[in-house]
Structure 1
Amino acid sequence: MSSCALQILTAPHHTLGAQAGRLIGAGVPRQKVAIIYDVGLSTLYRKFLAS
C-alpha cells in the first residue's frame, strides 16, 4: 500500500477518504474499494468499522 493512499484514507476531511466511506456505506464490497484506492482490506476495516 502506498503511503499516499493511506494518508488519503486516514484524513476524514479528505474527499477521497469520505468517498471511500460513502461507497462502503452504499454497500460496495470493501474488496472493490480496496482495489480502487490501492489499500489493504485491513486498512478499510480499521478506518471504516464493520457495522
Structure 2
Amino acid sequence: MPQLNPNPWLMIMIFTWLALLLILMPKTMQHKPTNDIIIHTYLQNLTPWTWPW
C-alpha cells in the first residue's frame, strides 16, 4: 500500500510547515489594519430591562 509509505509525504509536510512558519507567518504578522480599533465602553450605558409581564 503506497499511501502508508511516509518517505515522500513526510518531507512534503515538513517543507510545507517550514514555509508556513518561516515565510508566511512573519508577513501576516506585520500586517496592520487600515481602520483604528475603537473600544466602546458599553458597561457605562447599561440600564435594567423591565419585563412587561
Q: TM-score range by the shorter chain?
A: under 0.3
Which has the higher Rg, Structure 1 or Structure 2?
Answer: 2
Q: Return the structure number with greater helix share.
A: 1
What TM-score, normalized by structure 1, do the two folds share?
0.24
What TM-score, normalized by structure 2, do the two folds share?
0.23
